[in-house]
Amino acid sequence: MKIAFVIPWYGANISGGSESACRNLAERMVKSGETVDVITTCVKDFHSDWSVNYHKPGSEQINGVKVIRFKARKRDTALFDSVNKKLMDNIPISLEEEDIYLKEMVNSPELERYLSRNKDQYKAFVFTPYMFGTTYHGVQQVYEKAILFPAFHDESYAYFQRFKEVYSKVKGIVFNSLAELEWAEEHYNIGHISKQVIGLGVEQFITDSEDFRQKFGIKDPFILYAGRRDPGKNVNKLIHYFLNYKKNRPDSEMKLVLLGGGESSKGIKGENSIYDLGFVSEEDKYNAYSAACFFCNPSSFESFSIVIMESWYAKRPVLVYEKCNVTKKFAEESNGGLYFSNYAEFEACVDLLTENHNLADKMGLNGYHFVNSRFSWDRVIANYKEFIEISINKENS
């Protein structure tokens, strides 16, 4: 029988951690011999208007995966934004406001009807991520075959009473990290549900650090960041700390290289020490990892962080934010990196990693072995398939 992945939007090139994870899981499930459908809306992506049906409804093949799209319903955007603003500002909301949020975000009644009417055609339905209407309302159509891939963060949305009610009834939950599982067990009633930490696979790649340096004209040592620039990622904090470091170390040749989209660093005082390269090819990104002194992910909210795994695969150490329990625990488990909570600790970590090359190389190698042993795609897909079989056949008690 088929396996379905249910996600708000889907495409070959759209960005986002959950989007990329779903795409990779679906495509690699197909390559492993499974028949897979992706069930989604006609909305283009996270950054588009969630009331606009960009794609035509119906089915198409994308990289071997059958994608079935349904129209999204019109929304009251202003009403949604009024509630979402409170959530973004960590202001408590009422149960009625939770209902407004869930009603006025991206939803598709046609998709929900399809799930209800066709559930016997599928072995299991994997829903991701946790906070969207396609997951919340979709799970309720197929409780007995629902596998949740939530990508929980310790954020205001994750504390919804409605989520706690609904997600306590699924057949199984897959987590990206032990820290995510521990958080969920503390805040959700899921003791009776099948659970497993599986994580994501990391692409195998070959790097050429010299090619990156020559292509972009970067000769000096540098710290690397790759990813979005939204507030939760704390990129502005990284830039601020880096410029303070340069001020305190006037003879340092250290640079900061930024990859990815979002607000530009142009116009910042001291920007001559920052290379803001924007979007680059995957090959250039991989080469950048190997050329860097270390990779810094200052994000407060992560459920996995593929970028730190990629840095480790390139055998370079990482520096992460102490308040992100997921990345901190990965750094501790792997002995592949350090963490900081304030500027003084950031400065000390930079000094340690840049002045002790043998230590930095050893940490990078530790990280490489950690990724290879736990996050090869073959292992991840095998774990997913086994978990789905066990969860769907288990009688919840």
Spell out the long-range contacts of 392-395 with Cβ–Cβ below 8 A and sequence spacing 24 or more: 392/123, 392/124, 392/145, 392/147, 392/171, 392/172, 394/171, 394/172, 394/194
pLDDT tens per residue, range 160-171 = 999 999 999 999
Q: Cα–Cα distance between 145 and 126 in angstroms, integer?
A: 9
Provide the pLDDT for residue 13: 85
Both 317 and 226 in one domain: the answer is yes
Q: Cα–Cα distance between 93 and 160 in angstroms, integer?
A: 9
- CB atoms inside a 10 Å sphere around CB 204: 10
Both 253 and 185 in one domain: the answer is no
Beta bridge partners of 6: 39, 127
Give the SS3 label for residue 129: coil
Q: Is 251 exposed, middle or buried (0-12, 13-18, 19+ CB in 10 A)?
A: exposed
Provide the pLDDT for residue 232: 73
8-state DSSP, 114: H
With both helix axes pointing from N to C terminus, report the angle between 377-393 and 17-31 in degrees, rounded to the nearest 10. 90
Residues counted in the chain: 397
H/E stretch holding 225 reads: strand 222-226
With both helix axes pointing from N to C terminus, report the angle between 282-291 and 306-313 in degrees, rounded to the nearest 10. 60
Both 178 and 262 in one domain: the answer is no
Both 328 and 306 in one domain: the answer is yes
What number of CA atoms fall less than 13 Å from residue 178's CA on the CB side?
Answer: 7
DSSP secondary structure string, 140-195? TT-GGGEEE-----SSGGGG-HHHHHHHTTSSEEEESSHHHHHHHHHHS--TTSEE
Both 150 and 218 in one domain: the answer is no
Both 15 and 164 in one domain: the answer is yes
Q: Is 64 left (phi over 0), alpha (psi -120 to 50) or beta?
A: left
Both 120 and 234 in one domain: the answer is no
Q: Cα–Cα distance between 232 and 271 in angstroms, integer?
A: 22
Kindly give the confidence (pLDDT) of every residue in the chain, 397 residues in length, as a single tens digit, with 9 standing for 90 and above. 899 999 999 999 887 788 989 999 999 999 999 999 999 999 999 989 999 999 999 999 999 999 999 999 999 999 999 999 999 999 999 999 999 999 999 999 999 999 999 999 999 999 999 999 999 999 999 999 999 999 998 899 999 999 999 999 999 999 999 999 999 999 999 999 999 999 999 989 999 999 999 999 999 999 999 988 877 789 999 999 999 999 999 999 999 999 987 665 555 655 689 999 999 999 999 999 999 999 999 998 888 899 999 999 999 999 999 999 999 999 999 999 999 999 999 999 999 999 999 999 999 999 999 999 999 999 999 999 999 999 998 875 4
The sheet that has 337-340: what strands, in order across it?
Answer: 274-278, 255-259, 222-226, 294-297, 318-321, 337-340
Both 368 and 383 in one domain: the answer is no
Joined together, the tokens standing for residue 319 give 């520096």
User: Domain range for residue 148?
Assistant: 2-201+376-393
Both 270 and 191 in one domain: the answer is no
pLDDT tens per residue, range 33-47 = 999 999 999 999 998
Q: For the chain, count helices (H), then strands (E).
A: 15, 14
Both 66 and 157 in one domain: the answer is yes
Beta bridge partners of 60: 67
Q: Cα–Cα distance between 232 and 192 in angstroms, integer?
A: 32
**For residues 10 and 19, is the Cβ–Cβ distance under 8 A?**
yes
- pTM summary value: 0.83
Q: Which CATH number is 90's domain given?
A: 3.40.50.2000
Both 166 and 281 in one domain: the answer is no
Both 117 and 169 in one domain: the answer is yes
Give the SS3 label for residue 81: helix
**For residues 275 and 255, is the Cβ–Cβ distance under 8 A?**
yes
User: How many domains, in total, are found in the chain?
Assistant: 2
Q: Cα–Cα distance between 344 and 211 in angstroms, integer?
A: 34
Q: Strand 65-70 vs strand 58-62: parallel, antiparallel, or unpaired?
A: antiparallel
